[in-house]
Every structure is written in C-alpha cells, then in structure tokens.
Amino acid sequence: MYHGSTVHELRITYPSWIETVVDWRRRYRTDEEKLDLAIALSRDNVERERGGPFGAAVFEVASGALVAVGVNSVVRLRNSALHAEMLALMMAHHQRQSFTLAAPALPAHELVTSCEPCAMCLGATLWSGVMRLVFGARREDAEALGFDEGPVFPESYRYLRDRGIEIVGGVRRTEARAVMHQYLSRGGTIYNR
C-alpha cells in the first residue's frame, strides 16, 4: 500500500468561522469570562459546524491574554485526536514556538475548556506546561450524552496536582451542559463510545 510522501502532511486548521467568534485582542479577567469564550466556541461548533459540543482556549494567566483556541474537530478533520483541548494546546505551542508553555522566557499559561478533559486531553495538559486547568461541565455530563471520557480516576487529578497544576472544575457548568444537550437534540454524532 505505497502512498507517496505528499500524503504525509497533516494540515490542522480552525474552521473558517472562528475569526468571527474570537476577539484576539480582548483580555479575559475571570474564570467565568474565560469559560464564556470556551462555551461560545462549543456552541458555534455545534450550530455552524455540526461538530462535537466542546470548546477550549489557552490564556496567559496573569494578563488574561488569549493565546489559542480549540473546537472539537474529530468529524470535521476526520481525526479522533482532535478534541477541543488538543487543538487549543497544539495551536498554543505553534503560536509560542515552544514545546513547553512553561519555558522560562514565557509567562504562565492556563487551559480553559467547556467540559472535563478525557484521558488523552488530561495527559496532554500535563505535557503542555500549563499551570492551571479550568473546566465547565463534568465527566458525568458528557457520559450522560453517551460520550466516553476514558481512563480518568481521582488519582489522575492527584497526579497533575502533585506536579503543580491547579485544577478548577464546574465553572459555568449549567451553560456548558446546555450546549451539550443542544448537540444531542440535533442528532449529533457521538464518536467516542
């Protein structure tokens, strides 16, 4: 099954509408403001893209500057790894041109996501170098829709906290969950189960 080397290039992009949702110049002061952006991304991903009901963003902790965003792109880009958090973290590395967001020359970063990360995204959070993780809806909210969150246990969170990562969950949970239910009522694909 030979396939030429040109096949071996992945191009990972945002949906074309992303610039109409995101204001790159704005400073986000509170966790609630940051979650509002992640949830707005999740909502537009459902309404415009028919994509998974998940959005995420990476910020500088101190300034509240926005570094990168992500929306679930599993169906759009036909790639099971492209959860919202993965896209946001990979775009943040690209924007900072660094394989760690904890590089000495960089300010501290945080990942904010509309729903509790799955096993893959929680691992990626650890490797990315973010100092904070903030999420909206909880694991059981995703599972209630039929999504699988994978092997995440209480000791998984302990593992990250032991390595200095602050974790805050349940911020704007009701609003985040509402988008997830909107997705279900539209007959959206439950791709990992």
What are the start-end ranges of the H helices in 48-153? 84-96, 119-128, 139-145
For the range 1-10, what are the long-range contacts, defined as Cβ-Cβ under 8 Å and sequence gap of 24 or more?
10/79
Provide the residue type at 46 as one letter. Answer: V
**Torsion from C-alpha of 45, 143, 139, 66, nearest 10 degrees:** -10
Provide the residue type at 95 as one letter. Answer: Q
Q: Which is nearer to a copy of itself, 163 or 187 (CB)?
A: 163
Q: Do the Cβ atoms of 88 and 67 come closer than 8 Å?
A: no
Q: Do the Cβ atoms of 62 and 46 come closer than 8 Å?
A: no
Least distance to a copy of itself, CB of residue 174, Å: 27
Q: Which residues inside 84-143 make contact with a copy of itself, applying CB under 8 A?
A: 86, 89-91, 93-95, 97-100, 118-124, 126-129
Least distance to a copy of itself, CB of residue 68, Å: 8
Q: Which residues inside 14-53 make contact with a copy of itself, applying CB under 8 A?
A: 14, 18-19, 24-25
Count of residues making up the chain? 193
The conformation of residue 108, written as its DSSP 8-state character, comes to: P
Among 3, 104, 105, 164, binds a copy of itself (CB under 8 A): 3
How far is Cα of residue 30 from the mean position of the Cα atoms in its chain?
18
Q: Is 39 helix (H, G, I), strand (E, B) or coil?
A: helix
Q: Which residues inside 150-189 make contact with a copy of itself, applying CB under 8 A?
A: 150-153, 155-156, 159-160, 163
Our finding on whether 66 is near a copy of itself (CB under 8 A) is yes
Q: Which is nearer to a copy of itself, 100 or 182 (CB)?
A: 100
Q: Which is nearer to a copy of itself, 160 or 184 (CB)?
A: 160
Catalytic residue among 49, 85, 143, 155: 85
Q: Which is nearer to a copy of itself, 129 or 136 (CB)?
A: 129
Catalytic residue flag (residue 47)? no
| The two three-digit tokens of residue 10, written as one number | 């992945």
Provide the residue type at 143 as one letter. Answer: E
* Residues annotated as part of the active site: 85
Positions touching a copy of itself (CB under 8 A) are: 1-3, 5, 7-14, 18-19, 24-25, 65-67, 74-75, 77-81, 86, 89-91, 93-95, 97-100, 118-124, 126-129, 148, 150-153, 155-156, 159-160, 163, 191-192
